[in-house]
Amino acid sequence: MKKVKTIKIDVDLCNGCRACEVACSAFHAEPKYSSTNPEKSNIRVLFDVKRNLYIPVMAGEYTDAECMGRDQYIIDGTEYDECTFCRASCPARDVFKDPDSGLPLKCDMCEEEPPLEEPLCVKWCITDALTYVEREEEEEEEEKLDDVEIGLEALANKHGMKKITDTLARLSMSKKGEYV
Amino acid sequence: MAGGFFAAELKHSGYDKVILRGKSPDWVYLWIHNGKVELRDASHLQGKGCYETAELIKQELKDPKAQVASIGLAGENRVYFASIEVEKSSCSRLGVGAIMGDKRIKAVAVRGTKDVNVAKPAEYFELCTTMLESMRHRLDNPLPGFDAMLATLGPQALSHSDDGFHIDNFAWGNARERKKGHWTKEYGEKWESDQLQSMERHISCYNCPVKCGGIIKHPTLGRFPMKCYSKLTYPMAAYADLDFGFRMIGIAQEHGVDGYTAPQVMAFAVELYEDGILTDEDMPGFPSDNEERHFWLMEKIVRREGIGEVLADGVYWAARRIGKGAEVYDHNTIKKNEQMFIKLGTLNPMYYLLYATGEKLTITQIEGGVPQAPLAPEDRKAYVKDWVQIPTGKEERFKQFVLEWGDEGKKAPFWPDTDLLNELVEWQEAMHYIDDATGVCAGVSSFMPKPPYHIHNYPLMLSAATGIDFDEDKLWKLAARNRNLVRAINIRRGLKKEDEHPPDDHWKKRFPEFEAELLDNYYKFKRWNDQGVPTREYLHELDLDYVGEDLEQRGFLKSVEEAEA
């Protein structure tokens, strides 16, 4: 079993104060707590008064391509586009990118030694829109790939397995004797 | 001063302040982006509402995260009580919106992505954590004996609908009458249902856990954010209900007017009409329906159309322009500005001095720290128990004051003694000046009883944040410098001793000779001369010799030679 750290977000309780952004950027500043800058925060509150939309979102994985087409959700009469809830640092929008370097940002749950009781954004959210939950999850047995397999898998993803095996066959024929 | 997000965005953009000099020939808006500053054409924004303008600018700049401070029709037309609206808050008092309008600056938009650094990170963060804990404590533990509005933090007008205290005790119409017993069960239920139907969410300003604001959803006006007290000012001035209040606020915020003055100006006009001083000739098309009248007046005022041209100058000036006896209807202004709409019984000497000498012209921006009225005997001990906010050396006397205030022989107007009175007044005003200088909201500091920010932790936070060593004395001196600078500016602008006079009917029982004595004593205590002008000697101690020289050259202070002669 492995522990999964989760931040539960109750959007109805969010008061849009952005204390989570301030606390996160202070925690991740170098040296620690030496500056604040919401733009460098790994959590952002996406809000729009006209739609009563107050949604804290934690930065997730980086993606180098934006989605083709977008979904739209209507919840209680309010329209949300898919990006509203998306955690990706993505070319389609300017959140979750360090304003100085352009590098993607990603939430690390405030990992440090000794560990904090809860991520700092949760601690500073005294309206309880953010709460910290640890849950246990079955660990899937995962075979560790070696470097060659990782490389081949990437090539197979890009060009298709058939092309890889054909190329390997051709290479082994034409370069016979050159490789040990 | 305003809440919201504008100030923080400006700081992240690399600036602390924006000073606008001169005037533009055409309508422009200012765009500040990470140190780049440009004036852009705003001709297409003329006539637009404050929030509408902010939206259009953000679309135009393709930057939804920009923060915009804008004026509406009232600012454009230089209404004397025009506000500058920043999303979900505003700079409302004293017509600052009219100054932007005069300069033809429709808005200031800012966007910043730079770091804000602190000098001593670990120390500062620890202080912030303690601050967070003390705020949480107060939010979870309301002070016993206080109205819900003041019992926690920030004026909580939107977090509750139990407004019986204000409905029954504050004045209706043109600050005219109290309606004791108006808050009945049925009235309270309707009031609550209006609020619950309209309030969608509690909201806060930047990095603050206190939820003073709200998102209002109205069937005709859509959604708009608002802050606290105008929920009472508009309905009470118009003898109307809360639903009217929300409808009016939605419109008033787009036009950009002060929710404190505007309702009183409109109530003043309605009273003059009813008493025949203003007639149909002055106000052609004035509706007969009460609520319609107020909406009609609002539109006239913000456009300076017809009677609105006169009313846009506020009650004091409008009364003098209208004449025909209108002057006596100007009964709730001090220093030419509308005051809180409250009328009370016996003179309260502490409030007399706060009103008379306060220069921020809103009692809520001067008072705080000391309870507004004597506490019930059972609540007094609890109040003084952990009252750590009192300045050093004054702890016992201030605590004794709260413990005794209201007992037999210890009531207004001749109690407490002058020294204690002066110290209580000075402390309250000093904390407001410190908040203004640091940009901290009075809702977690000077306006609140037993607030999280106070004279003892302020110096620690300032030292850790800036690296400049502060202590209580240094901060006190800084507040005194600001206080006396503001006073000197106002004296140059024409402030006179006779202006330091609370409205005649503010209290039913007045004591003119005693009041004069109170004022003279306070002037002496503040080291001002008998006309209320800071003395050369005192200005010298505050490192403000240049201010003293200026006041002397302009004839407000006697020169040393004259004084000796």
pLDDT at res. B270: 98
Q: Is A15 within 8 Å of B201 when comparing Cβ atoms?
A: yes
- Is B165 found in the same domain as B32? no
Instruction: Give the chain B residue whose CA is nearest to the CA of A39.
Output: B113
The verdict on residue B167 lying in a domain is yes
Buried b or exposed e, range B525-558, using 16+ CB within 10 angstroms: bbebbeebbbbbebbeebebeebbebbbeeebbb
Q: Is B217 within 8 Å of A31 when comparing Cβ atoms?
A: no
Nearest residue to B494 via CA among B535, B432, B435, B554: B554
CB pairs < 8 Å spanning A and B: 82
The verdict on residue B562 lying in a domain is no
User: Which residues on chain A are in Cβ contact (under 8 Å) with B118?
Assistant: 33-35
Single-letter residue type at B406: G
Q: Is B223 within 8 Å of A50 when comparing Cβ atoms?
A: yes
The verdict on residue B543 lying in a domain is no
- Nearest CB neighbour to A35, from listed B116, B136, B201: B116
- Please classify residue B496 by burial: count the beta carbons closer than 10 Å to its beta carbon, then call 0-12 exposed, 13-18 middle and 19+ buried: exposed
Distance CA B113, CA B204 (A): 21
Instruction: Give the chain B residue whose CA is nearest to the CA of A94.
Output: B63
* Cβ atoms of residues B241 and B174 within 8 Å: no
Nearest residue to B295 via CA among B334, B257, B251: B251
Backbone angles phi, psi at B173, to 5 degrees: 65, -140
- Nearest CB neighbour to B204, from listed A17, A22, A34: A17
Distance CA B548, CA B545 (A): 5
Residue A171: is its pLDDT beyond 80? yes
User: Which residues on chain B are in Cβ contact (under 8 Å) with A52?
Assistant: 200-201, 215, 217, 223
**What are the Cα distances from residue A91, in Å, to A63, A67, A95, B482?**
8, 10, 9, 49
The verdict on residue B407 lying in a domain is yes
| DSSP-assigned letter for residue B19 | -
Tens digits of per-residue pLDDT, A66-116?
998 888 889 888 888 888 899 999 999 889 999 999 999 999 999 988 889
Q: Quick one: average pLDDT of A46-64? A: 91
Domain count of chain B? 3
Q: How far apart are the first and last CA of chain B?
A: 45
Q: Is A37 within 8 Å of B136 when comparing Cβ atoms?
A: no
pLDDT at res. A173: 80
- Is B358 found in the same domain as B313? no
The verdict on residue B368 lying in a domain is yes
pLDDT confidence band for A177 (50 / 70 / 90): low
Instruction: Give the chain A residue whose CA is nearest to the CA of B12.
Output: A37
Nearest residue to A86 via CA among A50, A137, A46: A46
pLDDT at res. A179: 67
CA A84 to chain B, closest CA, distance in angstroms equals: 14
Pull the structure tokens for residue B73: 């029709």
User: Which residues on chain B are in Cβ contact (under 8 Å) with A38?
Assistant: 12
In chain A, which residues touch B (CB < 8 A)? 12, 15-19, 22, 26, 29, 31-40, 48-52, 54, 99, 124, 126-127
In chain B, which residues touch A (CB < 8 A)? 5, 12, 55, 64, 87-88, 113-118, 121-122, 124-125, 132, 135-136, 139, 200-209, 211, 215, 217, 222-225
Cβ of B160: how many Cβ atoms within 10 Å?
A: 14
- Is B396 found in the same domain as B301? no
Domain boundary residue among B61, B89, B111?
A: B111
Q: Is B225 within 8 Å of A32 when comparing Cβ atoms?
A: no
Helix (H) / strand (E) containing B61: helix B50-61
Nearest residue to A15 via CA among B20, B544, B5: B5
Residue A125: is its pLDDT beyond 90? yes
CA A134 to chain B, closest CA, distance in angstroms equals: 24
What is the CATH classification number for the domain harbouring B61?
Answer: 3.60.9.10
User: Which residues on chain B are in Cβ contact (under 8 Å) with A18?
Assistant: 5, 206-207
Mutate to test the interface with A, among B51, B55, B65, B138 (most CBs of A within 10 A): B65
B384-388 CB contacts, 8 Å cutoff, 24+ apart: B386/B450, B387/B450, B388/B454, B388/B456
**What are the Cα distances from residue A160, in Å, to A154, A157, A167?**
10, 6, 11
ipTM above 0.90, yes or no: yes
Pull the structure tokens for residue B264: 């009183």
Judged by DSSP in three states, B466 sits in helix
Domain boundary residue among B304, B338, B372?
A: B338
Tens digits of per-residue pLDDT, A38-47?
999 999 999 8
Nearest residue to B482 via CA among B360, B369, B352: B360
Distance CA A42, CA B426 (A): 45
* Cβ atoms of residues B286 and B273 within 8 Å: yes
Q: Is A126 within 8 Å of B122 when comparing Cβ atoms?
A: no
Cβ of A87: how many Cβ atoms within 10 Å?
A: 17
- Is B360 found in the same domain as B461? yes
Mutate to test the interface with B, among A32, A46, A49 (most CBs of B within 10 A): A49
- Is B305 found in the same domain as B178? yes
The verdict on residue B481 lying in a domain is yes
Q: Is A29 within 8 Å of B136 when comparing Cβ atoms?
A: no
* Cβ atoms of residues A42 and A24 within 8 Å: yes
Widest CA span of chain B, in angstroms?
Answer: 72
What is the CATH classification number for the domain harbouring B474?
Answer: 1.10.599
Report the half-sphere exposure of B192 (CA within 13 A, side-chain side).
11
- Is B93 found in the same domain as B217? no
- Is B442 found in the same domain as B331? no
- Please classify residue B502 by burial: count the beta carbons closer than 10 Å to its beta carbon, then call 0-12 exposed, 13-18 middle and 19+ buried: buried
CA B299 to chain A, closest CA, distance in angstroms equals: 24
- Is B491 found in the same domain as B372? yes
Lowest-confidence range among A3-7, A146-150, B271-275? A146-150
- Is B424 found in the same domain as B288? no
pTM (two decimals): 0.92
Q: Is B203 within 8 Å of A18 when comparing Cβ atoms?
A: no
- Is B181 found in the same domain as B284? yes
pLDDT at res. B560: 65
Averages of pLDDT over each 10 residues, chain B, 565 residues: 92 96 98 96 98 97 96 98 93 95 98 97 97 95 91 88 93 95 95 94 94 91 88 96 96 96 98 98 98 98 98 98 98 94 95 94 88 95 96 98 97 96 97 95 95 98 97 96 97 96 96 98 97 97 97 89 70
- Is B272 found in the same domain as B173? yes
User: Which residues on chain A are in Cβ contact (under 8 Å) with B225?
Assistant: 49
Domain boundary residue among B291, B307, B338?
A: B338
User: Which residues on chain A are in Cβ contact (under 8 Å) with B110?
Assistant: none
Lowest-confidence range among A51-55, A85-89, A143-147, B337-341? A143-147
User: Which residues on chain A are in Cβ contact (under 8 Å) with B209?
Assistant: 15, 17, 19, 126-127
How far out from the chain centre does Cα B498 lie?
Answer: 23
Mutate to test the interface with A, among B87, B133, B207 (most CBs of A within 10 A): B207
**Containing domain of residue B456, as a range?**
348-533
The verdict on residue B231 lying in a domain is yes
Instruction: Give the chain A residue whose CA is nearest to the CA of B123.
Output: A33
Residue A141: is its pLDDT beyond 90? no
User: Which residues on chain A are in Cβ contact (under 8 Å) with B224?
Assistant: 49
Q: Is A33 within 8 Å of B215 when comparing Cβ atoms?
A: no
pLDDT at res. A82: 83
CA A119 to chain B, closest CA, distance in angstroms equals: 14
Q: Is A29 within 8 Å of B121 when comparing Cβ atoms?
A: yes
- Is B201 found in the same domain as B97? no
The verdict on residue B122 lying in a domain is no
